[in-house]
Amino acid sequence: MNARLRWRKFVSGFMLTMTGVCTAVSVAVLFFILGYLVYHGGASINWNFFTKLPAPVGETGGGMANAIVGSAKLLLLASLFGVPIGFLGGIYLAEFSGSSVGFVVRYAADLLNGVPSIVIGIFAYALMVLPFKHYSTFAGAFALGLMMIPITLRSTEEFLHSVPRALREGSMALGASKWRTIASVVVPAAYRGIITAILLALARVAGETAPLLFTALSNRYWSSGWNQPTASLPVMIFTYAIAPYDDWHRQAWAAGLVLLGLILVVNILARAILARGSAVPRS
Partner 1 sequence: MATTTTTVPGASPAAGSRSFLSKLRDGDEIARVITLLFAASVVLITLMLVLQLWHGSALARHKFGFNFFRTSVWDPVNDEYGALPFIYGTVVTAIVGLALAVPLGIGAAIFLAELAPQKVSDMLEFFIDLLAAVPSVIYGLLGVFIVIPLMRNYVQPGLKAAFGFLPLFQGPAFGVGFLTAGVVLAIMVIPYIISVSREVLLSVPRDQREAALALGSTRWESTWKVVVPFARTGIMGSIFLALARALGETMAVTMVIGNTPTISASLFSPGYSIAAVIANEFSEATGDLYVQSLIELGLVLFLLTFILNGLARLLIVVTAQRGSGMGHV
> Where in 64-93 is the site for partner 1 (CB under 8 A)?
84-86, 88-89, 91-93
> Rounded CA gap, 146 and 117, in Å?
10
Is the CB of 72 or the CB of 268 nearer to partner 1?
268
Contact flag: residue 237 with partner 1 (CB under 8 A):
yes
Only segment of 49-57, 62-70, 72-80, 236-244 that touches partner 1 (CB under 8 A):
236-244
Hey, which residues between 129 and 188 contact partner 1 (CB under 8 A)?
A: 146, 149-151, 153-155, 157-158, 161, 165, 169, 172, 177-180, 182
Give CB contacts under 8 A, 24+ apart, made by 73-76: 73/137, 73/141, 73/223, 73/226, 73/230, 74/137, 74/140, 74/141, 74/144, 74/212, 74/216, 74/230, 74/232, 75/141, 75/144, 75/202, 75/205, 75/206, 76/141
In the complex, what is the shortest distance from the CB of residue 4 to partner 1, in angstroms, rounded to a whole number?
11
Using CB atoms within 10 A of its CB, is residue 28 exposed (0-12), middle (13-18) or buried (19+)?
Answer: exposed
Contact flag: residue 191 with partner 1 (CB under 8 A):
no
Among 76, 126, 132, 174, binds partner 1 (CB under 8 A): 126
Hey, which residues between 42 and 61 contact partner 1 (CB under 8 A)?
A: none
Hey, which residues between 9 and 38 contact partner 1 (CB under 8 A)?
A: 9, 11-13, 15-16, 18-23, 25-27, 29-30, 33, 36-37
For residues 257 and 37, is the Cβ–Cβ distance under 8 A? yes
